[in-house]
């Protein structure tokens, strides 16, 4: 079969086909030829005639069935894929095709058929489960990251976590590059930080959670997750791209009684180039099927580069109907402070984890006051009161606004 044979604009995809939306810049090639090349090389075809081709293989051909400008849709028969094997699926539709000579290619969206989606576990908790665990029914959850991200010893790390919880944070998490360095060994950190969590819970009467970064070689990651669970932890965090989707799937398949918080460290290497690579909604959909409960999706404000449209697409990937697979809690993180809260809630809605690092620890009054200010911003927004008005009677919020302003 020639590349052109993989293009049929009259083709009607089957209900069980996997559909991929690509943006293709064909370079000097004819668009249909290049499009057919993508479909061929990501399914059963290759660049030349071969003697081993059999007639029955044609039923597994991917087909370009729609072309609109530089955008195209390809239907992949489900028989191409092993159910429950995300590495296999992505090696096909997001594999060697990105290296084809002379083209730029971006995978913008992916649509999983019900049966293939159901072969993955999906989130164990999702939005409803996380809210139930924390006992917070409606408002956005407030989180922070221990800062500085690296360098604190275990005792000081645990103290920063306690200060944040005492001030009103629901969630404290490790940063993405904190593992088990000599200055802060993993097991010691878990024991001491969870002890501070328990202290904060007893003093505030609120449930608190610690997101411990377990990212490591897969067997070590499993061991660390077991240690967190045995120590009374409720959460783990995984750097899903640097750890790898198969490692993530292994963690999920162990079915720990732990919420999985997904950090997307490294995503921009795939997502930032608008004409080549893989979009964040695709990464979000894959992570959701595998089974994360929370995922960083950008902010549309703050220090990260994604705009409102991109972040909205990421949120939709976390929450759109997907064959009974639970929703994923969207996490906004990156350069946030209390002045951003009204804009975030207006954009995200209340199903939001608002995670501020410097915007809490950089408060003029320190971490406790920074956490107080963030909760005050949430309380004001939920009450429909402007931050300026609320700040008249809430000194911590006023100080935060004076330092960082409002979005």
How far is the C-alpha of 221 from the C-alpha of 229, rounded, in Å? Answer: 12
Q: Are strands 294-296 and 18-25 parallel, antiparallel or unpaired?
A: unpaired
What is the three-class DSSP state of 140? coil
Write out the E strands in 112-264. Answer: 141-145, 171-173, 209-213, 235-239, 259-263
Question: DSSP letter string over 230-280?
Answer: HTT--EEEEEHHHH-HHHHHHHHHTT-SSEEEEE-TTTHHHHS-TTSEE-H
Question: Which region holds residue 80: left if phi is over 0, alpha if psi is between -120 and 50, else beta?
Answer: alpha
Report the alpha-carbon angle 296-118-263, nearest 5: 15
Decide if 11 is catalytic: no
What is the three-class DSSP state of 18? strand
Decide if 173 is catalytic: no
How far is the C-alpha of 368 from the C-alpha of 70, rounded, in Å? Answer: 51
Q: How far is CA 2 from the centre of its chain?
A: 38
DSSP 174: -
- The CA–CA distances, whole Å, from 392 to 345, 364, 399 equal 21, 17, 10
Q: Per residue in 184-222, is it b (16+ CB within 10 Å) or e — as a string?
A: bebeebbebbbebbeebeeeeeeebbbbbbbbbeeeebb
Structure tokens at 146: 């221990």
User: From the candidates 173, 263, 326, 398, which is the catalytic residue?
Assistant: 263
User: From the candidates 147, 261, 340, 369, which is the catalytic residue?
Assistant: 147
How far is the C-alpha of 24 from the C-alpha of 39, rounded, in Å? Answer: 12
Are the C-beta atoms of residues 203 and 196 closer than 8 Å to each other?
no
How far is the C-alpha of 285 from the C-alpha of 367, rounded, in Å? Answer: 35
DSSP 326: P
The residues annotated with a catalytic role in the active site are 147, 263
């Amino acid at each position: 079969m020639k590349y052109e044979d993989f293009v049929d604009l009259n083709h009607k995809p089957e209900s069980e086909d996997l559909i991929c939306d690509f943006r293709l810049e064909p370079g000097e090639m004819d668009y249909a030829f290049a499009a057919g090349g993508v479909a061929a090389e990501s399914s059963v075809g290759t660049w030349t005639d071969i003697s081993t081709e059999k007639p029955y293989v044609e039923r597994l051909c991917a087909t370009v069935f729609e072309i609109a400008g530089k955008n195209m849709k390809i239907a992949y028969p489900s028989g191409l894929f092993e159910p429950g094997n995300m590495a296999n699926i992505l090696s096909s539709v997001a594999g060697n095709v990105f290296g084809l000579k002379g083209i730029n290619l971006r995978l913008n969206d992916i649509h999983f058929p019900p049966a293939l989606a159901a072969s993955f576990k999906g989130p164990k908790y999702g939005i409803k489960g996380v809210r139930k665990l924390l006992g917070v029914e409606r408002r956005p959850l407030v989180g922070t990251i221990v800062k500085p991200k690296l360098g604190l010893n275990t005792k000081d790390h645990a103290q920063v976590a306690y200060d944040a919880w005492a001030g009103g944070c629901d969630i404290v998490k490790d940063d993405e590059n904190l593992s088990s360095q000599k200055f802060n060994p993993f097991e010691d950190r878990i024991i001491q930080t969870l002890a501070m969590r328990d202290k904060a819970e007893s003093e505030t009467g609120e449930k608190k959670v610690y997101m411990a970064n377990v990212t490591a070689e897969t067997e070590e990651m499993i061991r660390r997750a077991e240690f967190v669970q045995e120590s009374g932890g409720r959460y783990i965090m995984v750097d899903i791209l640097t750890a790898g989707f198969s490692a993530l799937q292994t963690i999920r398949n162990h079915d720990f009684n732990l919420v999985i918080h997904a950090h997307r460290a490294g995503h921009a290497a795939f997502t930032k180039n608008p004409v080549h690579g893989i979009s964040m909604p695709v990464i979000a959909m894959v992570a959701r099927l595998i089974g994360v409960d929370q995922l960083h999706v950008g902010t549309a404000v703050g220090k990260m580069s994604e705009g409102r449209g991109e972040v909205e697409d990421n949120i939709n990937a976390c929450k759109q109907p997907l064959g009974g697979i639970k929703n994923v809690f969207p996490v906004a993180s990156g350069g946030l402070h209390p002045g951003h809260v009204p804009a975030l809630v207006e954009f995200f809605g209340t199903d939001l984890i608002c995670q501020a690092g410097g915007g809490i620890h950089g408060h003029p009054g320190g971490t406790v006051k920074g956490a107080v200010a963030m909760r005050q911003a949430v309380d004001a927004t939920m009450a429909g009161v402007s931050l300026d008005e609320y700040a008249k009677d809430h000194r911590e919020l006023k100080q935060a606004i004076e330092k960082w302003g409002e979005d």
